[in-house]
Amino acid sequence: MFLPTGGCLPDALTKGGRYPTPEEEERLAGTHADGVPRGLLPCHSCGEWRGECFDTLCRQLVVRVHCVCENDNRCASCGELLHSRKLNSNYFDPVDKKIWHTPGFSGLDHRCAGNGRG
């Protein structure tokens, strides 16, 4: 929930965000010319954006952004990924220029191939 003054309530979905240090406030303020938040860099392996930046929705909080190759959430039974994205993490969508959160419960849709167990 957002306050009329533009702030965020502490109990709102924060995407794991935190308040910035004074140094981070200066270093991470704004975006690059292409609209990508400062603090994000392209991954050398997959090309997606990763790093730390201000959230695109609650601009008072610094959030960690993961690329697709940082997904390490695997099923204990079959070893396959539980979801296409890292659970309880954020990713940057270059099309809409927003940071999206992948909640942990997204992994509950996983089904092991072949044995039907999940």
State yes or no: pLDDT of 115 exceeds 80.
Answer: no
Tokens of 13: 């979905």
**How many whole angstroms separate alpha carbon 78 and alpha carbon 71?**
16
Determine the average pLDDT of the residues in 104-108: 91
6 versus 89: which is more confidently predicted? 89
Where in 1-118 does DSSP place strands (E)? 40-42, 49-54, 62-65, 89-93, 98-102
Predicted confidence (pLDDT) at residue 10 exceeds the cutoff of 70: no
| Global model pTM greater than 0.85 | no
Over residues 52-104, the pLDDT tens digits come to: 999 998 889 999 999 999 999 999 999 999 999 999 999 999 999 999 999 99
